[in-house]
Amino acid sequence: MDKQELEKQFEAHMREHELLLFKVCRIYTFTDVDRQDLFQDIVIQTWKAFPKFRGESKFSTWLYRVAINTAITGLRRKKDFITYYEPLSLPAHISDDNAAKTDEEQLKQLYEAIRRLNEVEKAIVMLYMEDRSYEEMEAILGLSQGNLRVKMNRIKEKLRQLTKEINYGT
Amino acid sequence: MELDDLKNTWKKNQDYTSTNINIMELIQNKHYGPVAALKKAFKKQMRLMIILPLLIFATSINDIGKVLTSVLFWSYIAFCLAVIMFSFYNYRIVGRMEGMDGMVKSNLELQVNLLQKRLQWNIIGLRFALLFFVILIEVVPYFQHYRMLDKWHALHPLVRLGAYAALFTLQYFVSRKLSQRKFGNHLMHLEELVKQMQA
């Protein structure tokens, strides 16, 4: 395959999966500038690895690998990595009345809670929310399905606690 | 809040608008992640080690015969060659870390393994370099006379031995500190990720 053809294919794949990259960047960064940097890093890494893609797995599975690997191993380059984010601007709600909240508000809370998870947990919860099967998650992360199920249960519990904390503004 | 209830909202709502980013323009940019930074550092080291002996050569062009018969000069060339080889080895190791399309866990384990190996060789290499110069300083006067070494060799052997011991101790701490500053934090971050995987 010549370079032009390769570039064409690559661009088409990236356009098709732009949303996937956007989600990874949103989960792993806190500012727009970092988000753009990470997006660029992932695109460059994907381009470097693209000639090796043989189609043995779905493109999205392969792309998740590149994106997560780049996100979790590359974020320390400029400054010390922010492991915990204190959302000072979050309103300190008095009650834990989730029923009264719209889905969008709950989603915002979920994002805030996810940002307090560690890097591996973030990847697992993102894939879970994307409805990826445990088999596919295993192919991306390299963890056994049994281990992933155990971790997912723990993460669910952790997220429940974290959203409660966010609700109470702690 | 139940995670499963939010799956649909998650998929729909991502504040996402197509970015219209020129993907092909993005890939023309140089990558500047930690691995790329390490590769750049090793490349720079190799270039420097090629330039320095040439510089010595160029500045001593009027007295070239003396330079070419100097044991110190050739020892320095040997040292530079060793550093170039070592940097090339490091460059290749770091190059292997660039593959990002493997499973996340195995990719992390590979990166940790390679960096630990590099760290070990780095410490061994530095110790050998220091030992090489110590032996050189002690042995060279038997073959060639260097005025600059006269005063040193006039000192009592025990004083010289003490100074060398101090030098090795200093090197132990300095090289550790330097390695930590260069890529130790990145290694610690990767080790933490491996721990998170295994937890």
Cβ proximity of A69 and B100 under 8 Å: yes
Residues A2 and A66 in one domain: yes
CA distances from B156 to A41, A76, B19, B137 (A): 58, 50, 73, 15
Number of domains in chain B: 1
User: In this complex, is the C-beta atom of A66 within 8 Å of any C-beta atom belonging to chain B?
Assistant: yes
Closest-CA residue of A relative to B24 is A11
**Which amino acid makes up residue B99?**
G
Spell out which residues of chain A touch residue B183, defining contact as CB-CB under 8 Å.
none
Do A25 and A102 have their domain in common? Answer: no
Q: Which amino acid is at B22?
A: N
Pair A2, A77 in one domain: yes
> Residue A67 has what pLDDT?
96
Q: Name every chain B residue with its beta carbon within 8 A of the beta carbon of A15.
A: 23
Extract the tokens encoding B74: 């050739």
B43 Cα distance to chain centroid: 10
DSSP state of A76: T
CB A82 within 8 A of CB A30: yes
- Write the CATH number for A5: 1.10.1740.10
**How does DSSP classify residue B183?**
I
If asked whether residues A97 and A61 sit together in one domain, one would say: no
Same domain, A42 and A117: no
Residues A71 and A118 in one domain: no
pTM: 0.79
Tell me which chain B residues have a C-beta less than 8 angstroms from the C-beta of A52. Answer: 101
Q: Between chain A and chain B, how many beta carbons pairs sit less than 8 Å apart?
A: 144
For A55, counting Cβ atoms within 10 Å of its Cβ (0-12 exposed, 13-18 middle, 19+ buried), the class is exposed
Which one of B5, B100, B110 makes the best mutation probe of the A interface by having the most chain A beta carbons within 10 Å?
Answer: B100
How far, CA to CA in Å, does B167 sit from each of A13, B80, B85, B150? 57, 21, 24, 20
- B9 interaction partners in chain A (CB closer than 8 Å): 103-104, 106-107
What CATH code is carried by the domain that includes residue A160? 1.10.10.10
Residues A78-92, mean pLDDT to the nearest whole number: 41
Let me know whether A97 and A157 are in one domain.
yes
Confidence of residue A72 (pLDDT cuts 50, 70, 90): very high
Cβ contact A38:A25 at 8 Å? yes
Instruction: Pick B66 or A154 by higher pLDDT.
Output: A154
Q: Summarize pLDDT for A128-148 with one digit per residue, the tens.
A: 999 999 999 999 999 999 999
For residue A3, the model assigns a pLDDT of 82
- Give the Cα separation of A74 and A82 in Å (integer): 13
Could you please report the per-residue DSSP string of A27-56? Answer: HH-SSHHHHHHHHHHHHHHHHHHGGG--SS
Q: What is the pLDDT of residue A10?
A: 92
**pLDDT score of B66:** 78
Least CB–CB distance from B1: residue in A72, A106, A143: A106
Residue A121: domain span: 93-170
| A60 at B interface, C-beta within 8 A | no
Examine the domain organization and report whether A114 and A156 are in the same domain. yes
Nearest-neighbour CA in chain B from A134: distance (Å) = 14
- Number of compact structural domains in chain A: 2
Domain of residue B97 covers: 2-196
Buried b (16+ CB within 10 A) or exposed e, B150-181: eeeeeeeeeeeeeebeeeeeebeeebeeebee
Domain co-membership, A67 together with A141: no
Same domain, residue pair A168 and A139: yes
Whether residues A133 and A152 share a domain: the answer is yes
The number of CA neighbours under 13 Å toward the Cβ of B109 is: 10
Q: Is the pLDDT of residue A83 over 70?
A: no
Using a CB–CB cutoff of 8 Å, tell me whether B189 touches chain A: yes
Residue in A68, A81, A156 nearest the CB of B104: A68
Q: Does A11 touch chain B (CB under 8 A)?
A: yes
Q: Which chain B residue's Cα is nearest to A153?
A: B3
Cβ-based contacts of A110 with chain B (< 8 Å): 1, 3, 6, 10
| Average pLDDT by stretches of 10, chain B with 199 residues | 78 63 76 74 89 84 81 86 89 83 93 87 86 89 82 91 94 82 81 91
Q: pLDDT value at position A88?
A: 39
Answer for the pair B17, B158: CB distance below 8 angstroms, yes or no. no
Residues A25, A49: one domain? yes
Q: Do A156 and B3 touch (CB under 8 A)?
A: yes
